[in-house]
Structure 1
Amino acid sequence: MENRKKVAFYTLGCKLNFSETSTIARNLQDEGFDRVDFEEVADMYVINTCSVTENADKQFKQVVRKAMKLNDKAFVAAVGCYAQLKPEELASVDGVDLVLGATEKFKLADYINDLSKNDFGKVHSCEIAEADFYVGSYSIGDRTRAFLKVQDGCDYKCTYCTIPLARGISRSDELENVLKNASEISKQNIKEIVLTGVNIGDYGKGEFGNKKHEHTFLELVQELDKVEGIERLRISSIEPNLLKNETIEFVSKSRTFVPHFHIPLQSGSNDILKLMKRRYQREVYTERVNKIREVMPHACIGVDVIVGFPGETDEHFLETYHFLNEMNISYLHVFTYSERDNTEAAAMEGVVPANVRAKRSKMLRGLSVKKRRAFYESQLGTNRTVLFESENKEGYIHGFTENYVKVKTPWNPELVNTLHDINLTKIDEDGSVRMVFITALV
């Protein structure tokens, strides 16, 4: 047992990356590695990269430096989206030994020998057209909830996005395999599963570019709702044009799916949506929000929005601001547009100055605070169910209700990963909600 090597992981980016990191880690554990925290000295550090924002690129170099400080003789491998898009750039970062692209990342064990440092980072990447097969994955043991990957890649051609270049065509896991993975997760005493993918509403497309849908997203949701042992299922980000009324209605009556939707908008201006090559107009977005509110008035609705896209005038931005201000939503994820190589938007006219982008971002972040506060206030006095997380934050334990209200109560380790009926009483200074217990559930 003394010969087992230690491996540590660092994940940048989305829930999908977390699910894939966890799967790669389990694969390496099967190959004789012991997983340790990234803060510890390890023989190998694996960094799962992201390329969605400029900051994610910069973060990569910081994470490599951190690993080298912990152990300058450690083997460093980079995988993920940035590794697919710019493998040579990553390989040139001091300390990096191996870079694996989209098709190679799940075969990490095949590319490592004695973990000796390389003079230069070695690259094994593919043409993205070769990423036409599906590898299922899910996270487990990292948190009180699991991220279950059901779909990968994207066939959309949004002008700002590099994801199709980094992950390839849209393809899905087989329904039977998703259900098997969900069942495995449920047996690990994990109370909540979050469905994740690049474009999960497009679920059902097979491998090798087969555009035929074997199953629909609605069928996936219906079958997952029957899996025994799962307390909660949460849908992560889903495109408004793919979130059908039938799915919304099913969630409103379902046993396990919670009333929480995260729906990307990106812009409240139809002119900008057209430039972005989004597949809907703002009227469709309004219809989706209204439908959710009709059948689930207490639902939490999160929104992705991009500011500073090329061609976005002050008038376009104010159109977005007023659209969001008037809509009954719960919070915003605000992204400041950043130019990405090999995207249409990078060559567009009407570049918005950085200081203007920053100002618009600040305005929408302020609106998000206001929206979240109003949503939390609307929930005061109601009875909800909370799932507590595992971290002790300054003497408090936090958790989330089914409709994503963040609650807090004094730290008690016995509450970790347990569900409780509670009453929401008041909003604290830090923005979370105080609560009183009604009954313990699990």
Structure 2
Amino acid sequence: MNADKKVAFYTLGCKLNFSETSTIARDFTDEGFERVSFEEPADVYVINTCSVTDNADKRFKSIVKSALKQNDEAFVIGVGCYAQLKPEELAAVDGVDLVLGATEKFNVISYINDLTKNDRGEVHSCEIEEADFYVGSYSIGDRTRAFLKVQDGCDYKCTYCTIPLARGISRSDTLSNVLKNAQEISERGIKEIVLTGVNIGDYGKGEFGNKKHEHTFLELVKELDTVPGIHRLRISSIEPNLLKDETIDFVSQSDSFVPHFHIPLQSGSDDLLKKMKRRYLKGTYTNRVQQIKAKMPDACIGVDVIVGFPGETDEHFLETYNYLNDLNISYLHVFTYSERPNTEAVNMDGVVPKKVRSKRSKMLRGLSVKKRRAFYESQIGSSRTVLFESENKEGYIHGFTENYVKVKAPWNPELVNTLHNVTLTKIDEDGLVRFDFAEEKITA
């Protein structure tokens, strides 16, 4: 029935969304749909939404317009976090036909027997308390790297965050299913797996609100390390209070897990961390960085930080800036605080003007450039392993070392999805690293 039908996907937001989009896409291809690029005419367009920032919400309308330019009769579906939080708002966007909330998005196929466009978007959503089951997923769109979802939801109550409202309670995949998915990824010739979830350090909580941990994150890491054919395993993001010494020790000795950690900080001020209801103070964060660097001096450490949170004075911001400037980290992901409905922070005093938020964001982005450059410079002269990616970007092929240094070489299709030992030689004008091949490739 669907043999001549085409489907296209657009994903906003995080690695977790990308892994879930891939799983939904496989359901469509199993039903006979042909997957095409979002820039091509299709019969169905699926947009996986994000609601972490205002910008992600606003982009949805323009993405719908882009889809309808390709085919004004296309059936347009919205899924994901924004679809759970604001289903009616999303359904009211011109051209949207179907909106699926947190529990329905993995059953999208069952909702599209008829692809006739609707006058208004049809909504199928749930109370978020009903999102108490787990659906595993992984992305395989990139030949070199896959995002493997191991956990979903969050039990934390950070005062700025809507994710618990959009994704529900913390729950995890079974260890056996994670290993099965990892094996499937390996059999496709993919060399690197990035572990993803909302709060992956909380891995082990079962379905239906079962708070007992069946397995720990450390047990997950140890088991994944044994999957044959996967050359690299990368931990995408982990809370500092959940990154234990034992995990750091294991990664430092692992053949597969790479020396790269992304650890949310959010603020370098203990006053603001308390207002945010984070589960650690600055001292814990400092300790985690020191522990990593003691075991893995060349490890890359990325940091999430929020600017402009209510009550953030100039003194608070400078405390954060100076803390990060002095800390032995490699780059920053800077988020400008935006007011989100149904969060505690939206009612807090001390609103920071938008212009001030923007200025502080620019300062921290500048610091990130400086930090990344310093980290890259510290790696010049060292021998590293590069996994080359599949895209030809203006005559160059790019790749990442195990410790997340981005490198480039003149385009050569034979390098795609291969691992090579290289010596990092210099930093180009664009901030990327040039290298010399140290020896023949490690693996095909």
Q: TM-score range by the shorter chain?
A: over 0.9
- 4+ aligned runs moved over 4 Å, structure 1: none
Q: Which residue of 1 aligns with 2:104?
A: 104
- Residue 383 of structure 1 is matched in structure 2 by 383
- Distance in 2 (CA, whole Å) between partners of 1:185 and 1:438 is 29
Correspondence 1:77-226 to 2 at 5 A: 77-226=77-226
Percent of residue pairs bearing the same amino acid type: 81
Which residue in the other structure is 1:243 paired with? Answer: 243
TM-score under structure 2 normalisation?
0.99
CA contact (8 A) 2:2 2:32 kept: no
Cα distance in 1, alignment partners of residues 181 and 228 from structure 2: 12
What secondary structure sits across from 1:438 in the alignment? strand
Q: Which residue pairs with 2:321 in the alignment?
A: 321
**d(CA) in 2 for partners of 1:129, 1:123:** 18
Could you tell me which residue of structure 2 aligns to residue 408 of structure 1? Answer: 408
Amino acid at match of 1:223: E
Give the match's secondary structure for 1:441: strand
Provide Cα deviations, 1:211-232, integer angstroms capped at 9, x if missing partner.
0000000000000000111000
Shift of 1:3: 3.8
Contact 2:259 2:298 in 1 (8 A): yes
CA contact (8 A) 2:143 2:417 kept: no
Q: Which amino acid aligns with 1:172?
A: S
CA distance in 2, matches of 1:202, 1:4: 43
How many Å apart are 1:2 and its aligned residue? 8.3
CA distance in 1, matches of 2:390, 2:345: 41
Instruction: Tell me the number of residue pairs that the alignment of Structure 1 and Structure 2 aligns.
Output: 442
Deviations 1:60-117, CA, capped at 9 Å, x for gaps = 1111010010100000000000000000000000010000000000000010122110
CA distance in 2, matches of 1:415, 1:185: 20
Query: Structure 2 unaligned runs (5+)?
Result: none
CA RMSD of aligned residues (A): 0.8
> Is residue 2:37 matched to residue 1:37?
yes
Q: How far did 1:4 drift? A: 2.7
Whole-angstrom distance in 2 between the partners of 1:31 and 1:126: 25
User: 1:221-232 residue pairs with structure 2 within 5 A?
Assistant: 221-232=221-232
- Range 139-148 or range 84-93, more displaced: 139-148
SS in 2 for 1:19: helix
Secondary structure at 2:438 match in 1: strand
Structure-2 separation of matches of 1:89 and 1:234: 37
Separation of aligned partners in 2, 1:290 and 1:62: 44
After superposition, the Cα gap between the structure-2 partners of 1:164 and 1:390, relative to the gap in structure 1 and judged at 3 Å, is same
What is the letter of the counterpart of residue 135 of structure 1?
V
Whole-Å Cα distance in 2 between the matches of residues 130 and 124 of structure 1? 13
C-alpha separation in 2, matches of 1:417 and 1:78: 33
Q: Deviations over 1:356-396 (max 9, x none)?
A: 00010010000000000000000000000000111111111
Shift of residue 312, structure 1, vs aligned partner: 0.4
Report the secondary structure of 2:375's partner residue.
Answer: helix
Which residue of structure 1 aligns with residue 15 of structure 2?
Answer: 15
> Separation in 2 of the partners of 1:147 and 1:2?
28
Contact (CA 8 Å) 2:2, 2:33: kept in 1 or not? no
Q: Per-residue CA shift, 1:318-372, capped at 9, x if unaligned?
A: 0000000000000000000000010000010000000000010010000000000
Q: Shift in Å at residue 31 of structure 1?
A: 1.2
1:181-233 Cα shifts (integer Å, max 9, x gaps): 00000000000000000000000000000000000000000000001110000
Q: Secondary structure at the match of 2:140?
A: coil
Task: Give distance in 2, aligned partners of 1:141 and 1:58.
Answer: 26
The SS at the match of 2:239 is coil
Q: Cα offset for 1:28?
A: 1.1
Letter in 1 for 2:149: K
Provide the C-alpha distance between the structure 2 equivalents of 1:3 and 1:414, rounded to a whole number of angstroms: 34
Write the distance in 1 (CA, Å) between the matches of 2:25 and 2:244: 35
Shift of 1:437: 0.6
Q: Structure 1 residue 144: deviation in Å?
A: 1.8
> What SS class does the counterpart of residue 283 from structure 1 fall into?
helix
Partner residue, 2:63: 63
Which residue in the other structure is 1:307 paired with?
307
CA distance in 2, matches of 1:141, 1:81: 21
Residue 394 in 1 paired to residue 397 in 2? no
Kindly provide the amino acid, as one letter, of the partner of residue 287 in structure 1: N
In the alignment, the residues of structure 1 paired with residue 337 and residue 370 of structure 2 have an alpha-carbon distance, to the nearest angstrom, of: 22
Q: Matched residues in 1 for 2:411 and 2:148: separation? A: 29
Q: Deviations over 1:220-249 (max 9, x none)?
A: 000000011100000001000000010000
Q: Amino acid of the residue matched to residue 113 of structure 2?
A: N
- The structure-2 alpha-carbon separation of the partners of 1:269 and 1:143, relative to structure 1 and needing over 3 Å to count, comes to farther
Shift of residue 143, structure 1, vs aligned partner = 4.5
1: CA distance, partners of 2:73 / 2:38:
15
- Separation in structure 2 between the aligned mates of residue 239 and residue 3 of structure 1, nearest angstrom: 45
Instruction: Give 1:142 deviation, angstroms.
Output: 3.4
Partner of 2:297: 297
Aligned to 1:441: 442
- Output the amino acid matched with 2:62: Q
Cα displacement string for residues 264-322 of structure 1 (whole angstroms, at most 9, x for unaligned residues): 00000000000000000000000000000000000000000000000000000000000
Deviations 1:377-434 (A, max 9, x none): 0000000000011111111100000000000000001111111000000001111000
Give the 3-state SS of the residue equivalent to 2:47 in structure 1: strand
CA distance in structure 1 between the aligned counterparts of 2:350 and 2:141, rounded to whole angstroms: 47
Q: Distance in 1 between matches of 2:413 and 2:97?
A: 40
In structure 1, the partner of 2:279 is 279
